[in-house]
């Protein structure tokens, strides 16, 4: 079973002639509503590859219409949403303005996400077959507790260190590494995490090696068009290329990689193969607009044919 513990958001996107500065107001002709939150994004990505009934999502939404929609969307994508808790706080929401040059400004109101609790996950939910996927958009202490529950029964923990907290400490990274089997980061996140524990590196490859050794884990770095790199403590580095494409929208590509990788881990796919499939899925996502709407289904992946 793939278990996602993380954030659920509703994204409100407005296209504007210029992003307003302090004290300014600009008008947009309309706005678009999208489903978001890294947790929900990764749950949808995993379900589209693993299939209905293989993915469960835990997190919190408000007692509002946005919460209703977020839960309905998960279920429509084959994700079991029975663990989602209704909080008194409103559903998380991201306010996104995009100007004519494609630059954006984003304000995220965490709302119910900041109340997410590891206690929402029943103990009998965890087993050696559990593949737990975590990010950094719910309280760190709660995600850490969920990881410890998983490790206590020999389950597998995949931790996507994104977004990197502004006040990430060395202690936080050390605790995270101790309960993680697969650390998934991009180039910048790898460098930030290594630096936080005093292992500054000149390249993300070196940072990944340091993190793998520090946590005795597999560190996977996604590097956009350069593909993905996996560093382990007992084997040579692995690399998978990204298919050459002309991207339409890269939003959600990283989450697509994480969700697909979780599906591959749950199926016992060898690491090199898992990297290749995940890179292809992330590239296919970039060919369509929208984070979740552009995520591929299993039948679209030639590498799984």
Q: Which residues are catalytic?
A: 255
Closest CA to 131 of 267, 295, 292, 282: 267
Q: Is 224 labelled a binding residue?
A: yes
Report the distance separating Cα 81 and Cα 77, nearest Å: 10
Q: Is 151 labelled a binding residue?
A: no
DSSP 8-state symbol, 164: P
Q: Is 11 labelled a binding residue?
A: yes
Closest CA to 4 of 266, 225, 294: 266
Q: Is 73 labelled a binding residue?
A: no
The CA–CA distances, whole Å, from 181 to 51, 59, 82, 91, 286 equal: 23, 22, 26, 31, 27
Q: Is 255 labelled a binding residue?
A: yes
User: Is the dihedral angle over the CA atoms 98, 103, 105, 111 positive or is it negative?
Assistant: positive
Q: Is 256 labelled a binding residue?
A: no
Q: Is 78 labelled a binding residue?
A: no
Q: Is 41 labelled a binding residue?
A: yes
Q: Is 194 labelled a binding residue?
A: no
Closest CA to 88 of 109, 108, 117, 111: 111
Q: Is 227 labelled a binding residue?
A: yes
Q: Is 119 labelled a binding residue?
A: no
Q: Is 59 labelled a binding residue?
A: no
Q: Is 292 labelled a binding residue?
A: no
Closest CA to 204 of 245, 242, 161: 161
152 Cβ partners below 8 Å, 6+ apart?
126
Burial 63-100 (b: 16+ CB within 10 A, else e): ebebbebbbebbeebbbbbebbeebebbbbbbebbbee
- Residues making up the annotated binding site for substrate are 9-11, 37-41, 137, 255
- Residues making up the annotated binding site are 9-11, 37-41, 137, 186, 222-227, 249, 251, 254-255, 285, 288, 290
- Residues making up the annotated binding site for K(+) are 249, 251, 285, 288, 290
- Residues making up the annotated binding site for ATP are 186, 222-227, 254-255
């Amino acid at each position: 079973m793939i278990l996602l513990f993380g954030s659920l958001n509703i994204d409100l996107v407005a296209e504007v002639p210029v992003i307003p500065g302090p004290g300014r107001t600009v008008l947009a002709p309309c706005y678009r509503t999208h489903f978001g939150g890294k947790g929900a994004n990764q749950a949808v990505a995993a379900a589209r590859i693993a299939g209905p009934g293989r993915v469960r999502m835990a997190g919190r939404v408000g007692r509002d219409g946005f919460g209703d929609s977020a839960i309905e969307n998960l279920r429509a994508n084959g994700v079991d949403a029975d663990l989602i808790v209704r909080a008194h706080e409103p559903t998380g929401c991201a306010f996104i303005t995009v100007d004519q040059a494609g630059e954006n400004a984003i304000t995220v109101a965490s709302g119910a996400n900041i109340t997410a609790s590891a206690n929402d996950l029943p103990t009998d939910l965890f087993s050696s077959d559990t593949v737990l996927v975590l990010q950094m958009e719910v309280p760190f202490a709660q995600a850490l507790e969920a990881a410890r529950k998983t490790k206590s029964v020999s389950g597998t923990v995949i931790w996507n260190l994104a977004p990197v907290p502004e006040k990430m400490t060395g202690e936080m990274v050390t605790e995270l590494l101790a309960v993680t089997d697969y650390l998934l980061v991009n180039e910048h996140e790898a460098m930030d995490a290594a630096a936080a524990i005093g292992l500054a590196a000149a390249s993300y490859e070196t940072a990944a090696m340091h993190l793998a050794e520090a946590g005795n884990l597999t560190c996977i770095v996604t590097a956009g068009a350069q593909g993905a790199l996996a560093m382990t403590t007992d084997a040579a580095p692995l690399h998978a290329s990204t298919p050459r494409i002309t991207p339409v929208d890269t939003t959600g590509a990283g989450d697509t990689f994480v969700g697909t990788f979780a599906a591959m881990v749950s199926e016992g796919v060898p690491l090199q193969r898992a990297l290749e499939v995940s890179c292809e899925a992330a590239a296919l996502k970039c060919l369509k607009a929208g984070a979740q709407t552009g995520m591929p289904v299993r039948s679209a992946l030639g590498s799984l044919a």
